[in-house]
Amino acid sequence: MSSKEKNGPKLPDPVELAKTWEAIAAKTRTLIEGFVAKHAQAPEGGPQETGSRAAEAAILLRPLQTFIERTGKDPSRLVAAQIGFWQDTLTLWQRAGMRAMGLQAEPVIKPSKGDKRFQDEAWSENPVFDFIKQSYLLTAKYVAESLPANEAISTAGGDQRGQQLEFYARQFVDAMSPTNFAATNPAVLRETVDSGGENLVNGLKNLLDDLERGKGKLRIKMTDLERFEVGKNVGTSAGKVVFENELMQLIQYEPATDTVYEKPLLIIPPWINKFYILDLQPKNSFIKWAVEQGHTVFVISWVNPGSSLSEKRFDDYLLEGPLAALDAIEQATGVRGANLVGYCLGGTLLSCTMAYLAAKGDNRAKSATYFAALADFSEPGELGLFIDDEHLALIDQQMERDGYLDGATMASTFNALRSNDLIWSFVINNYLMGKQPFPFDLLYWNSDSTRMPKAMHRFYLREMYVKNRLVEAGGITLDGVAIDLGAVQTPACIISTKDDHIAPWQATYRSVHLYGGPVRFLLGGSGHIAGIINPPGANKYGYWSHIGANGEFPASADAWFEGAQYQEGSWWPEWKSWVRRYGGKKIAARIPGEGGLSIIEDAPGRYVQMGDLT
């Protein structure tokens, strides 16, 4: 046995470490005193802010009450979990003793595949840290197994209290990981001694900066915000803003080919984020790629609304968004009709647009493509955990105060769905290791949050997430028109992603049974962003496709998947073959500003620059 296997990687001397902690305390005292002096004034918000925090605490307590009530009725699960925990813990102690004597011992439990937290070699080669790791993993396992709601939440449509209990338990377990604490993270301990404690001093500076940037609330910096600028090194595809109204600017992109399809392509991104996720860098820009395939591409760039737009309704996003864009495109090109693409919430709006046009007898939409978009909200995934009466009341309270839902609130919710990747990894890097986050375009975009107008967001949450009325013929009415997805005869292509935690693919699959016209369904690998932004050149993830007999789809998503064929690479080329059927003949390429609309300004335009990202 090698000395490295016997003793593990070299760790700091305890005496040296104690001296380092003492030096850190002296340095950090000055930083904390300066921060407190600067922010000695009472925080903004007053009683209303205090009431909001009290309501948040009450919401967190309800899942705990559920646990107590259900455990009282049936304690057998908790008892079984405790017995299993103690048996495995005893085995762990025995094997830890064997390792301490230099003997080989198989681990009692290992991190799950894909768990990146324990990659440092000390977690497996040093007996002490291996014991800490396994103790934590065993605790996490039995916390999950002790939940009395476990069977209920594993089934579709399980009770919401049980789902919240499981979610918050997982949040707590993730927060308690030994990787998140300086004294139990071997990499942090080594860095502390090697740098003389400068990592923790720098980490405190980073923490205070994030508190300052969040105006008293922690707003974790995920990337080097100074390294990116929209229009300079992200969102750089050449184009012009040719139309605008209160809610959006319409960008027409410059052609990359001598000829283009007669029918333009209109992309409707979500207004919950900014459009340049589809144009991050030239190598992964869906917009640039679509232009290179011979499409005249138009993209909606939504405004980042303030309180002055608080009464904008979902109807207004329909009228001033895709419908206004279709009118403007006809003016710009002289051609009536376009192929439409909607991403996420933009795809939900596209569903409404298609039904609205069908009700009006308007055939301008030649095809509709849905990227990771929900129309049936019966299984909205973990986002649905935040949409019950208590959470809605809390959201309403904030929106009544401000006129909108703050973008940082939405970002925090999304980040919590993947807390190890989007919260705790940055706590370790920024605050414990004292490093600056790596410059990453996707995380810059993720940090560039947008607000939701009060009236629109209230309608969206209640009528779609809570009541699921979009699937009912005439269940919702927009601009006086009853929305019926079954009346839509336009060809549709639904693109979903297998690991989507925002729009679960089993839920998006339900849309194949909602539309009245021919439908294609493609399932990309990876998640809500990476599975969509998956250019052919990257050769990543792959996708599944399946065409049923006579174009019919199985009733369930699982049955569809069983008959689907896996394809290597990106789904983009297959979608290209599908959408070109509806593009019409080839004509000379169109130049922005040379049609019926004048140029307002260069892409990406003013609206995408609006925000509080600093």
* 260 vs 288: CA distance, rounded Å: 14
Dist CA 5 CA 102 (whole Å) = 9
CA distance linking residue 173 with residue 150, whole number of Å: 16
Q: Give the pair of three-digit tokens for residue 427.
A: 């706590």
The whole-angstrom separation of Cα 119 and Cα 480 is 57
Is residue 352 part of the annotated active site? The answer reads no
Amino acid identity of residue 488, one-letter, is: V
Can you tell me whether residue 515 is helix, strand or coil?
coil
460 neighbors 318 (Cβ within 8 angstroms) = no
Say if residues 450 and 272 touch (Cβ distance below 8 Å). Answer: yes
Say which DSSP state 431 is in: I
Residue 465, C-beta contacts closer than 8 angstroms, at least 6 positions apart: 377, 380, 383, 384, 387
Residue for token pair 């001397």: 13
∠ CA 576-580-584, nearest 5°, is 160
Gap between the terminal Cα atoms of the chain:
53
8-state DSSP, 241: E
Residue with tokens 């850190």: 24
Pairing of strands 543-545, 565-567: antiparallel
Extended beta strands in 272-355, E state: 297-302, 338-343
Give backbone dihedrals phi and psi of 50, rounded to 5 degrees, phi first.
Answer: -65, -40
Gyration radius (Cα) of the chain, Å: 27
Q: Minimal CA–CA distance to 349: which of 269, 279, 404?
A: 269
Strands 492-497 and 365-371: parallel
- Secondary element (H or E) of residue 198: helix 198-213
Tokens matching residue 369: 């493509």
Of 344, 355, 394, 557, catalytic: 344
- Contacting residues for 331 by C-beta, under 8 A, at least 6 apart: 243, 595, 596, 597
Find the helix or strand (DSSP H, E) in which 567 lies: strand 565-567
Active-site positions read 344
